[in-house]
Amino acid sequence: MDNLLLGDSIGVVEMATGRRKIAVIGAGNVGATCAMVLAQMKIADIVLLDIFEGFAKGKALDLSQNANVLNYNGTITGTADYADIAGSEVIVVTSGFPRKPGMSREDLIGKNAEIVAQVGSGIKDHAPDAIIIMVTNPLDLMTYHMQKVTGFPASRVIGQAGILDSARMAHFIALELNCAEEDVNPMVLGGHGDTMVPLPRYTTVGGIPITQLISEERIAEISARTASGGGEIVKLLERGSAFYAPGSAAAIMAESVLNDRRRLIPASCFLTGEYGLNDVYIGVPCILGANGVEQIFELDLSADELASLQGSANFYKEQLTEILGY
């Protein structure tokens, strides 16, 4: 194996590949899952950064040793030094306190706003050209906060939520119909929380709208379970929150940016008049490519659907003012 470099006992196994770089900030369960999925994609070298250096290096070493098992290669570096993210084209931010039973995403605002400010400063200083994908909760608020902290163009600061929320809805639909998950194409807009807006009319199974396959009553129940999907997992785990699906969803977004895939996905984007909304991050369908958010699509919503989306956005706008002072 050429160019193999062995780190010290808490270091990493590295291979000089000359590939592109993605940084994942936060080496907890979500960040480590994201890093592992990215490694399996074989698209970039990975820097895993955490305030606790040994924690980041330990995760990176474990992931590096997993390369032989899962047949991936490249550099996976653990660090606590922001200088190591220099040259990263995409940065996934997962840092923050996880939810505990009884906590809403909004309960996390104060604690995680301070963390996001510190992370944003490090990104601004060492990777000023990067595109940022936010995972930290409350997602839509922390994405707005990150954009303000860095001063980056809003198209380069994007919140991961729509893929996750849509995946949760897809799973519940697949359970309902006893069908293949891969045949379900859901669409969920709005904030990443209880105010999210599942859109049954734009959700299909094998190209057929679910409104033709599932009763209105069951769709309402599935939509409600989707909205509380994260809380359901928090309650079951008791000592943490979801990480497999959130980490994987963030990796999918990072890959779409890095490889300019231009995937049409729901994500938390900054709106400037779309859907009658301004100066707010909220989940909407967009094209995600090499420049970040390349285009936002305005769906033809019913009066009730539009009211729900605007209500979701206004809920977060109020919190931006009352709690974060924007």
| Dist. CA 27–CA 34, nearest whole Å | 9
Mean pLDDT of all residues belonging to the chain: 92
* Average pLDDT for 281-290: 98
Residue 325, token pair as written in the block: 């002072």
- Lowest mean pLDDT: which of 97-111, 149-163, 260-274, 305-319? 97-111
User: Does the N-terminal peptide bond of residue 209 adopt cis geometry, omega within 30 degrees of 0?
Assistant: no
Would you state the structure tokens that stand for residue 89, as one six-digit string?
């084209």
User: Which structure tokens are listed for 22?
Assistant: 């993605």
Look at residue 317 in the predicted model and tell me its pLDDT: 92
Question: Which of 50, 49, 39 lies closest to 14, judged by CA?
Answer: 39
277 compared with 103, residue with greater pLDDT? 277
Helix (H) or strand (E) holding 208: strand 208-209
Percent of the chain with pLDDT over 90: 83
Query: Which run of H or E residues covers position 293?
Result: strand 292-296
Q: Taking residues 150-177, what's their average pLDDT?
A: 97
Distance CA 47, CA 57 (A): 10
Average pLDDT (292-307) is: 97
Q: What per-residue confidence (pLDDT) applies to 18?
A: 62
**Cα 64 to Cα 323: distance, rounded to the nearest angstrom:** 41
Whether the pLDDT of residue 255 is over 90: the answer is: yes
Q: How confident is the model at residue 12 (pLDDT cuts 50, 70, 90)?
A: very low
* Choice among 126, 145, 171, 192 that is catalytic: 192
DSSP string covering 124-168, please?
Answer: HHH-TTPEEEE-PSSHHHHHHHHHHHH---GGGEEE--HHHHHHH
Q: What is the pLDDT of residue 2?
A: 35
126 is annotated as an active-site residue = no
For residues 324 and 268, the model is more confident at 268
SS3 51: coil
77-133 confidence digits (pLDDT tens): 999 999 999 999 999 999 998 767 776 666 778 889 999 999 999 999 999 999 999
- Report the pLDDT value the prediction gives residue 94, as an integer from 0 to 100: 97
CA distance 11 to 254: 25
Which of 2-6, 41-45, 222-226 shows the lowest per-residue confidence on average (mean pLDDT)? 2-6
Average of per-residue pLDDT across 281-301:
98
Domains present along the chain, CATH in parentheses: 4-159 (3.40.50.720), 162-322 (3.90.110.10)
Is the per-residue pLDDT at 140 higher than 70?
yes
Rounded CA-CA distance 23/26 in Å is 10
Q: How confident is the model at residue 11 (pLDDT cuts 50, 70, 90)?
A: very low
- Take residue 53 and report the two structure tokens written for it: 């250096």
Determine the pLDDT at residue 275.
98
